[in-house]
Copies of this chain bind each other. A is one copy, B any other.
Amino acid sequence: MRPSNGVRTFSAQDTQVAFPLGGIGTGNVSVGARGDLRDWEIFNRPGKGAMLPNTFFALRTKIGNNLAVARVLEGPVQPPHNLSHGYHPWTAMGLPRFAEATFRGEYPFARVDFADDALPVHVQLEAFTPFVPLDPDKSGLPCAIFTYTLVNLSSEVVQLTIAGSLFNAVGGVAFDAFGNIAAGGLGLNINDLREEADLRGLHLRSEQYAPGSLLYGDMSLATTHPNVTVKQAWLRGAWYDFLQEFWDDFSADGLLTDLGYSSPSDIGKSDTCTLGLVDTLAPGEQKAYPFLLTWFFPNRTNSWDNNPGAPLVRNHYAGQFSSSWDIARYLVGHLPSLEADTRRFHAALFGSTLPDYVLDALSANIVPVRSTTCFWLEDGRFFGFEGCFDKAGCCEGNCTHVWSYAQTLAYLFPSLEREMRRIEFIVETEPSGYMYFRTHQTFGSRFVWGWGDREPEAAVDGQMGSILRVYREWLLSGDRAWLEAVWPGVKRAIAYAATRWDTDRDNVLDGRQHNTYDIDFYGPNPLCTVYYLAALRAVEELAHIMSEPELAQRARAAFDAGSRRADELLWNGEYFVQRLDDVNAYKYQHGDGCLSDQLLGQLYARLLGLGDLLPEEHVRSAVGSVFAHNFKRDFRDHVNCQRTYVLNDEAGLLLCTWPRGGRPSLPFVYSDEVWTGIEYQVAAHLIYEGLMEEGLQIVKAVRDRHDGVRRNPWDEVECGHHYARSMSSWALLLALSGFHYDAALGSIAFAPAVQKDAFRCFFSAGTGWGSFGQQSEQDMLSASLTLGYGHLELQRFGLQPAWVARTVRANINGKPLPARLEHSDGGAQIGFEQPLKLIAGDRLEVALTRLSTNES
């Protein structure tokens, strides 16, 4: 079914497919499996199900004097057809369309192949928005590029017009009960035809709103194709005249008649416009026809709740461009290089030897970064919701306990993560070390979790996670100025944990411990304490870096004592449990339950090279127990009185089970649920602990559930769409490749956990990204690092041969490079005499050979 290392294809029947285009902080429009445009979310708010009227691509072909054929460039409409008034004409569902559409998505590229025997051409759409890891600006353009490539399959010349129609939605479209377009904020809309040397198209704007208005903005549909035909405004008639006139005009001769309206639309109304690309194709000829869709809606409310009365802020992109036409013009000059970088990223990620479902999990969960879950302000501040309701952000404020699971953004856009740490430790951490876990200091409102007027508890896991993430950001950046800025907050935050939550001062947390399950744990429990132990280790390392040896020592001492005490208290012989005399004394505990998140802190320690937080064999046993007890291959008999994410014959990992009994009468909310963000963190941890098969099974189960019929492969839902926690999937790449990087030390290391004989994967290391490869024969291990983008300064390169290495050889772009084996126990570390400075396109190769003895 799935081609190896390929990614699934989808047909028109896979109605849940919605592949989001759009940049960081720009909003999105998605492509469906039929090639349709859906979920218009470019107006600074989520819009699942939001359609734009009259907005579709269409193709007309004609050979000689044969009848012309015109088709909407979409696959067949799928059931159910259950609307109370049928499909409204603005959906164009009544127009003929292609017989088949085949969709393939390899983020950031979507491809749709259209087939229909009635047309003499094959049509392929490729759609994307430039995506260049490490460069948020290049990845944050409010645009989508649609390229239709046509091949003339006939033996005669084909005349063709490809037309893109777009509704001018500036001001905001609404619909009445019949589905007719209602006033909304529409009115005084006008579509200008603009032609420049290499760019021509339509600029859709409104004269109703001033630049400072929330509703101000514009959209453009443009092309670099030289020969165009244009209708600036569809017929302003009654009933369904608009579509009838357009389709008759288009299908008659492929040339559009402009109706000559010179005034903007009336208040409450707007116009649709069409840009057609006109050409002929010789027999067998293939040509690409590009459309540039750009948008510019600069203003959004500075509010987590989309309150229209709140003060406005400007999107990051609004500081760089003045209009959507300005963006289109920028693209004309820069698209070739943006596209080349984007293709290099795609090739590096999908050119991997990793299993297809792993690539799927990695790439699909880049989406939250560029979805409406995140936004990015003109002043550089970057924020995320937890996820999104259909029409609004859901659960505000860089929620620390959710975002702590996320790894994707940190490795792809580390500057944005450093910005989030800056906000957490400089703005959101009080002198006491109490950290607002939802950036409520920033926005001036305090979120209270339904518990009356009290200040919410700080979140233990979120606060510890933020400390760990400071260390992660440091490793990836070596940015000392930034570290110095956040460091005082880090010290206060860890001190707060020790005093507030460790009430008996035994270095195991036991107080009231608010956490990501939106409840409070009481007493010693693995989630909070292991997270705390990991944070102590991070503080120890950071203290060394900050030349505070006394603090480092204290942190170490607390860690050592806490680690011993935690193992004594929490280990049940198989996994770690919560210790409470009466598990029902408080609601929503887990007690003897086997918690999937029990070792999340230990996973962080693996990711960041912080070592074992608890006895290694206990860790391995516990992670294995999580898989053994919590991974269910079938949910038909599962009893879940909470929210349901997995059901029927699907497989998934439960948040908690009670294999030895002791289930509380009301266990913590969410305990019987399945969250992809936790599935990925457990899968990555299983891989780190050598339980490869188990880890991969979980990943495959998650992605099998997102099959286009049941769920959208590009939307992992938890408490909202594009849920931030799902970005834990990037840990899979780190675990499978054994990637470690320390910018300050100039060291990079890989230790593939699979396919060691022939391994290839993407890596991203702070200032550069590219592809790592490894080939292993009996006595030789050759590895290569190809930099696709940016630069990378290296002094050390670590590899993990199955034996003790004897010699090393290295070259850069084929040129020999002096290198030495710094040590070869427990992995080989190669040192370079001069710090290497790789730039994009460089290829570093090293080869290790084995000792002549029989050691291995």
Give A residues with C-beta under 8 Å from B: 15-16, 48, 76-77, 79-89, 91, 93-96, 99, 118, 177-178, 237-241, 243-245, 247-248, 251, 387-390, 392, 394, 519, 587-588, 636-645, 647-648, 665-666, 669, 672-673, 709-712, 717-721
Contacts and interface: CB of A to CB of B under 8 A. Distances in A.
A639 B83 contact: no
A647 B588 contact: no
Contacts of A238: 587
A247 B641 contact: yes
Number of copies: 2
Nearest to A99: B636
B720 A89 contact: no
Contact of A711 (B76, B80, B394, B644): B80
Contacts of A710: 79-82
B588 A93 contact: no
Contacts of A80: 15-16, 709-711
A239 B85 CA distance: 38
Contacts of A666: 237, 241, 244-245
Interface centre among A251, A641, A719 (most CB of B within 10 A): A641
A719 B721 CA distance: 33
Contacts of A721: 84
Nearest to A669: B239
Given A91-B644, A666-B244, A637 B711 contact: no
B709 A637 contact: no
Contacts of A647: 76-77, 81, 87, 93-94
Nearest to A717: B84
Contacts of A643: 85-89, 94, 240
A476 to B, nearest CB: 32
Given A76-B648, A79-B710, A84 B641 contact: no
B177 A673 contact: no
Contact of A641 (B76, B86, B94, B638): B94
20 contacts: A79-B711, A82-B717, A84-B388, A84-B721, A85-B717, A85-B720, A86-B643, A86-B645, A89-B643, A94-B639, A94-B643, A95-B641, A96-B637, A96-B638, A177-B394, A238-B587, A239-B669, A240-B642, A240-B669, A244-B666
Contacts of A87: 643-645, 647
A55 to B, nearest CB: 15
A588 B89 CA distance: 16
B636 A96 contact: yes
Nearest to A709: B79
B81 A711 contact: yes
Contacts of A637: 96, 118
Contact of A82 (B16, B88, B665): B16
Given A89-B643, A94-B644, A95-B639, 14 more contacts: A76-B648, A79-B710, A81-B710, A83-B717, A84-B388, A84-B394, A84-B717, A85-B394, A86-B644, A94-B643, A94-B647, A96-B638, A240-B669, A245-B666
